[in-house]
Structure 1
Amino acid sequence: MTATSGLLTPSEVAAMFRVDPKTVTRWAKAGKLSAIRTLGGHRRYDEREVRGLLVGVPQPRGSQN
């Protein structure tokens, strides 16, 4: 988790969805995921929104929780 609670980096989101961080950036540019820009211009994603989207993603076989 980042220092700012509730916000995730592109790498953290990518790890959750098992995709490349560039894919997360493309999702944000396409409007599929909303991004917040830091003062330095980096994207951050709302953890609640990401987890809500993650619920709809089927889990790979063998990774039952």
Structure 2
Amino acid sequence: MSDTPDRLLTPAEVARMFHVDPKTVARWALAGKLTSFRTIGGHRRFREAEILAHIASTQQTKES
């Protein structure tokens, strides 16, 4: 396991990576398409490694 913690992304950051609206990212999280968790303040966050893996698998599917 790595000593550095995984970077956490906001819905806006994830939305920019997927070229969609942040509300779409929230809907994907509610539907279980993306894994997220809530901060103590109630804000949704996403683990960068999981998002990058999801993007890679999506691109792989498109290339097939």
Gaps of 5+ in 2: 60-64
Counting matched residue pairs gives 55
Which structure shows the higher helix fraction?
Answer: 2
Higher relative contact order (CA 8 A, sep 6+): 2
CA RMSD in angstroms comes to: 1.5
Q: Is 1:28 aligned to residue 29 of structure 2?
A: yes
- So what's the TM-score if we normalise by structure 1? 0.77
Structure 1 SS opposite 2:37: strand
Alignment partners' CA distance in 2, 1:5 and 1:42: 17
- So what's the TM-score if we normalise by structure 2? 0.78
Deviation of 1:32 (Å): 0.7
